[in-house]
Amino acid sequence: MILVLNGPNLGRLGKREPSIYGADTYEDLVNLCRETAGKLGHDVDVRQTDSEAELIGWIHEACDGAIPVVLNPAAFTHYSYALRDAIAQRTAPLIEVHISNPAAREEFRHTSVVAGVATGTIAGFGLQSYVLALHAISEMNTTS
Residue ranges of the annotated binding site for substrate are 72, 78, 85, 99-100, 109
Q: How far is CA 12 from the centre of its chain?
A: 15
Residue type, 81: Y
Catalytic residue among 79, 98, 110, 135: 98
26 in catalytic set: no
130 in catalytic set: no
DSSP 8-state class, residue 121: E
State how far the Cα of 94 lies from the Cα of 131, in Å rounded to an integer: 14
| Of 107, 118, 122, nearest in space to 83 by CA | 118
Q: Three-state DSSP class for 80?
A: coil
Dihedral in degrees, nearest 10, Cα atoms 21, 56, 3, 95? 60
Catalytic residue among 21, 110, 130, 135: 21
* Residue 5, strand partner residues: 47, 71
| Of 57, 95, 49, nearest in space to 75 by CA | 49
Residues with a known catalytic role? 21, 98
